Structure 1
Amino acid sequence: MGVIKIYLLLVLSLLLDDVTCQLTGIALNPDTISLKERQKGSLNLTLVEVTPAGTIVNCDIVNVDSPPATAITDYPFQRSFTTVSANNIQWYVFYNEKSPQKLDYDVYNTYEVTVECAGITGIESDILTINIIENQAPIITQGGVPTAGLNMSTDASAIIKNDLLYTVTANDPDGDPLTYDYKTTPQVNYFDINPVTHEILAAVDFLAVAVSPVTITVNVSDGDKSKQLIIRVIVNDLNSRPEITNLPESISIPENTPAGTQLILLKYNDVDRVQIFNPTCTVTPATSASVFTLGSRIYVAGKPDGTSRLDYESIKSFSISCTIFDDYLYSDGTDILTVNITDINEPPVFTTQPNPCQLTESQARVSTCKLGMVLNDPEGDSFTLSIVNNAESQRFQFTSPDAQYLTFSVDYDVDNGAMPSSVQVEIKATDSAGQSSSAQIMVAILDKNDNSPVFLPNQGVDVTPSTTVGTVGKLQVTDNDSGSNSEIEFALLNINPSVYSDFISILPSGQVHYTKKFPSSMQDTTAILTIRATDKGSPPLSSTGVIIVRFLSDVTVPVSIQSSATATGDQPGLSPTASSKTQETFFDQPTNIAIVVVLAIVLLILLLVAFYFCIKRMLLGYCCGPGKESSVYPSSDEYGYQNNYHRRYNSGYYKEPLGYQSKYPIRDRIEYESNYPGSRPVYHKEYTSYSDVIRDKPLYARQTSTIK
């Protein structure tokens, strides 16, 4: 836009006849300058002065050469201008630091720049000479004196960690910023270098230095040129590395080497000191569980069961690398024990043990179970499977060559313990080389419900009037099955005559229950019970039987009762269950009962007679005839003809006729009184004892109270 503006000004000046002067010449001020090769920042190099002053012109760089006559097309120079006033523009030659073309003294050390300016009436030019000042390299000093290298010598024991070894100092004549780079030969970790102060420090005690001399190369750069300092560090009386004297070594062991076998005892040497070393060892390839026990003695490690972890088919060779450390230096790292594993033929392996087997008693080759075992041979050899023969396992066989299913080789029956219900079968796997291994199979044989209940023969029950109500027997039934297959439940199907169902019943447990006393009218009769016995198998099996219940009198002599039974299915000849009978005693015989009754009656009569005579003796003083006068009753003096003994009735008095002798018996007195002339019958009652009289006296008094 600025150039267009200039041209417009020139045209307007011409059109307006405003031109007062014509361009006669230009001059560059200055016409010669010096410019640093690494000039920092853009700047105007020279001013274009036009003659006459104030002439409006358009200036540009038209050519750049490098003496003697080399044309340059890539240069960092360009024109620039500033507008002082509407008709006054100043032109410059400008150095652009951001230009991709850079100054390089080694390529062009002088530039001749031709500037040309065009006015309204003519063109004028001038040349600017630019001399490039070469960039100066940094200067490394020691004590202010430039240096290119130095030697440092010390004893190993004299330097400890963090001691200051040297400080690098440098400057740049051009004032450019400097960068430092350090390199050690050989590459070791003996030094620490501060990136700010450029101090070189000991990173370790020099007793840990195993290499001498060590060269430290310092490179100082200003971005264009650099300076190098060589420092040689010489360490005297170096510490010697410890060493394992019997490594490297290579050995071969068979894969069946027992756990705990020692492979090697490491031996050590250190010329500087005598000490005990604890080696650090690693195994390649690494495994999830260590194959070896590591230390100064290296052993074959064992599994929890005591066997070794060596397996030729898995890993054929191991490298055990060991190092030792003397507090400053490690052994050189080449101490390796190579362990080669040799192959040994191994038996087949049950990678998956066979499943427990469950069979149901059956005919041969009917019931089967899947074993689900997995085997392999470590060497890949073929192998065969067989059952180890014994008295129990010979009843089993595989159903196919792959031995995945087990079955019976015979008809198997566990009823009544004919064959065991639990058997341990041993399986053997044998490879082509004769190596074998075995596994155990626990075989459980389940009972099949294949037997119906069987009633035992000749079962019956007798009840009598003296039999106690309750359980009087239990049905006897057998079932050759086991478990729930042999558990029996009973049901009464029929009782004949049916009236007997009120007196006898069958419980599910098989107990014969006498429910209540039977009447005498049922004595010496018989009831026939039809009973079904059913087991709890699946499916359940049952049979029926008939038993006889006799209702006897106590004097009936029990006799043997025969009964019959039938079984459901193909089980003929079953018999009803046996039950208990009433126990016969002395009184079950009628003759014995009659004798006892007669004797009891005779004894009772004798007792009554004896009692009578005893009372008579006590009251009358004699047993069989008259005796002396009794003092129990009133004497004759107390009675007289028409003399009554008075006693007031409501006060307990009474009167009774007297006039008879007290010696007469009470009965006679009462009769006498009743026959007295003018009297009426008083009390007609026959007394047999005095106590009866005393008891009835009040009544007697009431009856005689009207006698005068």
Structure 2
Amino acid sequence: MWDVEGKKTRMSVTVFVLTFFSTTQLICGSPPDIQDLNFTVSVDENTETLTTIETFSVSDPDGDSVSCNLAGGGTLFNLYSASATSYAINVLSNSAGFNYDFTASYALSVNCTDINGESTSASIQVDINPDQAPTITHPPSAVKVSENTVALTSLYNLTVTDPEDDPMYCNLTNVNPSSNSFAMWIATSSVYRFYLLGSQRLDYSTVPLYTLRFACSDSWGTSTSTLIVEITPNMYPVFSNLPGTATFSASSTGVGTSIFNVTATDVDSSTLTYSIEASNPSSSIFQINSVTGVVTNTQHLKYVLNSVYYLTIKVTDGKGSTNGTLTIILTNVNTAPTIQNLDNSISVLETTASGSAIYTLVIVEPNAYDTVTTSYSITPADKSSLFSFDPTTLKLSVNGTLDYETQSSFTIKFTVTDGKASSGPYTLTITIKDENEACFFDRTKYFTSTYEASAGMGSMDPGFIVSDHDNGDTYTLSIQYSASVFSNYFKIDSASGIITFAVDYNVDQGAYPSSGNLNVICTDTGNAMGTATVSVSIYDTNDNAPEFPQIAYVLYPSQYLNPSDVILYLAATDKDSGDNAKITYTWTAQMGGSTYYQLSATGRVYIARDLSDLSYGQTYQFVVQAIDHGSPALTGTTTIDIIYRQSITTTTTPNTTTVTTTTTTKAPTFLDYPANIAMVVLMCLMALALLSFLAYYLYKYCKKPGGCKIKSWKTPMNKSVSPTKPNPTKTSFDFWNETSDSNFKSKPFSGKRNSNETKIPMPAPVL
């Protein structure tokens, strides 16, 4: 019944049984014969694939052909036909492996049948032999090892075999107590060795016995065993000839002499090492050969100071050591010189003069024939030059300038020697005593300057830098006042050093000096003083304007003057000095006239062109300025009135007698000057005296012959008259050379023109 598309379907099958009948002739024969077959076979667990475990042969009495097969054992075995009558039973596959623990034997059956159907059977039992672990041959129960045993020493050789010759290996599995001092290495294919490593040293006093557990394994099993390692204690070396004594003459025993040969023995070590552990008294003049034990001296014994030395000699085998004493007795020993008056301390003033002796050593040398040499060192070393020592007089002296503030103490160490032995160092401590030292300036002379000013002003800072070697000392500054008046004009701030005027200082016209020197003093708290010079320069301040001698000028040039003739020299003054007193002149024409008259920068008023174009009485006024060269420039002012007047000269020559009559231009009177009129007004109190003087002057003048004779003529004031110019020789005019008289035709205002004329003098210019 099937379930087809969810429907139940029944199918009926009719089975037909057919019976065939045949007629067979029965023949009788013999079965095959199995020969040489062992009924029990042993096989090792590790038998390899295709290994033959049994062979047998088969025959048939009837001569029929025979075939055999193997039953049982699963897929582990197969039957191999070597020939028609010979068979072998092989291990077909051991991939799963025989395992004695699960199956100890297998039952196999061999069946052989001839062609007539006759058969013979035989049974075989295959026993599985279990695999065996490696065999450790006679492991030792214990070995003894000295605690002196060195690294990589072989402790024991172990023989290990494997019954099946399987690959195997052995190793240490445990060391008790735990230690890294042991190892197990293979020597040959079947020999393993135990070694002592160098990572740890054996110590009987700490661990006297170790238990080494080890295992040897192949792929089928493991064998274990134990090795006991007993540590034997080290036996210390023993001296053969110590304690011992050696005697030598110090004066004749040279360096490298064999003093003593130390010997020792050790029962468990042939390698011994010698050394000198100590010397009493302490000394390095003896040494010992570490291998041979020979003691020698490192220097000639004439240099030693002690007659007996006790040397502690040590011998060691690397594990333990033994000490012994060697006594060295010296005769004829040298005695070192000594300084009897040290160690000591002294005090020295910082003002002690260089070259002064401050200490004398007392040296004792027992051996009169020895020469003593003294050496010394000074601390601090960089100040060592401050002292000197005379080896002949044994005197220590100051060799420079001591300074308490820089270094307040010194230590000098002395050592004395006679060439063979030395003593020291001996110490001399020197303490420097402080004394008050004067303050001092960083320079001996300073320079400063300022401009003239009133008292308390004119601040000057020379930049004083004042020092004092005395720590914490202070100072004040002052000016050293003396007979020199210059120093009295100034005062100084005692703290800052700023210098100011003590008076209203003015250098104009030499009222006060423009330079001088001041002696400045610093005074410290101990009244010690230092001095310095200050060079002071005072510059003029442009505080004075130029001044003219007159507030106004009136000039009367005549027709006789030529271009370039100077009619006035202006001479303004300035109370300042230097550039501030230099003056430049300039003017401004109030009513023209610059064409005819000019003013040079140096104050020359001169004729610029011929005056004949002017009318007599023609007047020009100029405002003159005198400007100094200061900054800012200051100006002084005056006025100049220039009035052109006629000067007349008449000459008459009769036939019989030559008579010369000179007519002069009327001289200006005192009141013709506007400036004098102003002065009369201002000086009214002097009027009577002035009038008396004028009366007296007129009286004296009229007493002269012809003095009061006045000729008059009528000449129109505005009529142009061409003057007669006798000998009108002209010279060239050099404008720039003001001081050369050769540039002028004649000196103005000299009253002289030609030899045949007389001129009433004109008022002289105010210079």
Normalized against structure 2, the TM-score is what?
Answer: 0.57
2:151–2:198 contact (8 Å) kept in structure 1? no
Equivalent residues of 1:545, 1:564 under 8 A apart: no
1:250 aligns with 2:345: yes
User: 2:748 corresponds to which residue?
Assistant: 582
| Within-5 A mapping of 1:225-236 | 225-228=320-323, 230-236=325-331
In structure 2, relative to structure 1, the CA distance for the partners of 1:310 and 1:113 (3 Å cut) is closer
Aligned match of 1:272 in 337, 362, 367? 367
2:425 aligns to what? 333
1:94 to 2:194 alignment: yes
The answer on whether the counterparts of 1:548 and 1:563 sit within 8 Å (CA) in structure 2 is no
- CA offsets per residue over residues 635-657 of structure 1, 9 Å max, x none? xxxxxxxxxxxxxxxxxxxxxxx
Q: 1:418 aligns with which of 494, 505, 511?
A: 511
Aligned to 1:688: none
Q: For the residues of structure 2 that align with 1:249 and 1:375, how far apart are their CA atoms?
A: 39
Q: Take 2:580 and 2:403, find their aligned partners in 1: how far apart are those partners? A: 54
Assess if the C-alpha contact under 8 Å between 2:139 and 2:225 holds in 1. no
Match for residue 318 of structure 1? 410
Confirm whether residue 35 of structure 1 aligns to residue 140 of structure 2: no
Change in Cα spacing, 1:48 to 1:362, as seen in structure 2 (3 Å) is: same
**CA distance in structure 1 between the partners assigned to 2:371 and 2:674 by the alignment:** 100
Match of 2:252 among 141, 158, 163: 158
Counterpart of 1:582 in 2: which secondary structure? coil
Quick check: 1:421–1:445 contact (8 Å CA) kept in 2? yes
Shift of 1:41: 0.9
Once the two structures are superposed, residues 210-251 of structure 1 have per-residue CA deviations (whole angstroms, 9 ceiling, x without a partner) of: 334344545444432335565544443233222334433333
Distance 1:259 1:75, change over 3 A: closer
Q: Does 1:488 align with 2:583?
A: yes
CA gap 1:439/1:123 in 2 versus in 1, 3 angstroms: closer
Q: 1:328 to 1:583 in 2, by over 3 A?
A: farther
- Aligned residue in 2 for 1:575: none
1:448 aligns with 2:541: yes
384, 395, 404: which is aligned to 2:489? 395
Counterpart contact for 1:22–1:120, Cα < 8 Å: no
Q: How does 1:376-395 map to 2 (within 5 A)?
A: 378=470, 380=472, 385-390=477-482, 391-395=485-489
Q: In the alignment, which residue of structure 1 is the partner of 2:501?
A: 408
Residue equivalent to 2:704: none
Between structures 1 and 2, the one with greater helix share: 1
Q: Which amino acid aligns with 2:486?
A: E
Q: 1:545-556 to 2 correspondence within 5 Å?
A: 545-547=638-640
Amino acid at match of 2:630: G
Q: Secondary structure at the match of 1:413?
A: coil
CA distance in 2, matches of 1:202, 1:582: 123
- Counterpart for residue 574 of structure 1: none
Q: Structure 1 residues 203, 522: closer, same or farther in 2, change over 3 A?
A: farther
1:191 Cα deviation after fit:
5.2
Partner residue in 2 for 1:47: 158
One-letter amino acid of the counterpart of residue 203, structure 2: D
Distance 1:511 1:230 in 2: 126
Q: CA deviation digits over 1:252-304, x for unaligned, max 9?
A: 344433343321233433222467766433334456585434444323343xx
In terms of mean alpha carbon deviation, does 535-544 or 214-223 score higher? 214-223
Q: Which has the higher mean CA deviation after the structures are superposed, 197-206 or 48-57? A: 48-57
Secondary structure of 2:353's partner?
A: coil
Give, as a single letter, the amino acid of the residue that structure 1 aligns with 2:397: Y
Partner residue of 1:298?
396
* CA RMSD between the two structures: 5.4
Contact 2:542–2:633 (8 Å) recurs in 1: yes
Secondary structure at 1:365 match in 2: coil
* Structure 2: 5+ residue stretches without partners: 1-45, 47-94, 105-127, 650-663, 676-737, 742-746, 760-767
Q: 2:153 and 2:208 mapped to 1: Cα distance?
A: 19
2:628 alignment counterpart: 535
How many equivalent pairs are there?
548
Equivalent residue, structure 2, for 1:572: none
Distance 2:244 2:557 in 1: 135
- Cα distance change on mapping 1:294 and 1:558 into 2, 3 Å: farther
Deviation, 1:533, is 2.4
- How far did residue 320 of structure 1 move? 2.8
Q: State how far apart, in whole Å, the 2-side matches of 1:193 and 1:465 are.
A: 136
Between the aligned partners of 1:526 and 1:277, the Cα distance in structure 2 is: 117
SS of the aligned residue for 1:281 comes to: strand
Give secondary structure in 2 for the equivalent of 1:157. coil
Distance 2:605 2:594 in 1: 16
Kept in 1: contact 2:180–2:197 (CA 8 A): no
Q: Which residue of 2 aligns with 1:363?
A: 454
Q: Distance in 1 between matches of 2:467 and 2:165?
A: 109
1:179-258 equivalence runs, <5 A: 181-183=275-277, 185=279, 186-190=281-285, 202-228=297-323, 230-258=325-353
Q: In structure 2, what is the Cα distance between the partners aligned to 1:99 and 1:19?
A: 46
Contact 1:348 1:383 in 2 (8 A): yes
1:103–1:434 distance in 2 versus 1, CA, 3 Å: closer
Question: Aligned in 2, Cα 1:500/1:97: closer, same or farther, shift over 3 Å?
Answer: same
Match for 2:455: what amino acid? A
Q: For 1:572-607, what per-residue CA distance to the aligned partner results, in whole angstroms no more than 9, with x for missing partners?
A: xxxxxx9984374876243489xxxxxxxxxxxxxx
Is contact 1:181-1:219 (8 Å) kept?
yes
| Letter of the 1:103 counterpart | L
> Does structure 2 retain, via aligned residues, the 8 Å contact 1:22–1:55?
no
1:348-380 Cα shifts (integer Å, max 9, x gaps): 565798964433211122332335546577374
Deviation sequence 1:46-79 (CA, Å, 0-9, x none): 4255797869999887998xxxxxx855584566
Label 1:554 to 1:195 Cα distance change in 2 as closer, same or farther (>3 A): farther
1:204 and 1:591, CA in 2 relative to 1: closer, same or farther beyond 3 A? Answer: same
User: Secondary structure of 1:239's partner?
Assistant: coil
- Normalised by the size of structure 1, how large is the TM-score? 0.61
Counterpart secondary structure, 1:153: strand
| AA partner of residue 452 (structure 1) | A
Contact 1:255 1:310 in 2 (8 A): yes
Q: What pairs up with 1:541-620 in 2 under 5 angstroms?
A: 541-547=634-640, 581-582=747-748, 584=750, 588-591=754-757
- Provide closer, same or farther for how the CA distance between residues 91 and 470 of structure 1 changes in structure 2, counting only shifts above 3 A: farther
2: CA distance between counterparts of 1:204 and 1:384? 68
* Uncovered stretches (5+) of structure 1, i.e. residues with no partner: 65-70, 85-89, 141-145, 303-307, 566-577, 594-708
- Residue 477 of structure 1 is matched in structure 2 by 572
Secondary structure, counterpart of 2:419 in structure 1: coil
Whole-Å Cα distance in 1 between the matches of residues 674 and 331 of structure 2? 122
Q: Does the aligned pair in 2 maintain the 1:79–1:91 contact within 8 Å?
A: no
Distance 2:409 2:297 in 1: 43
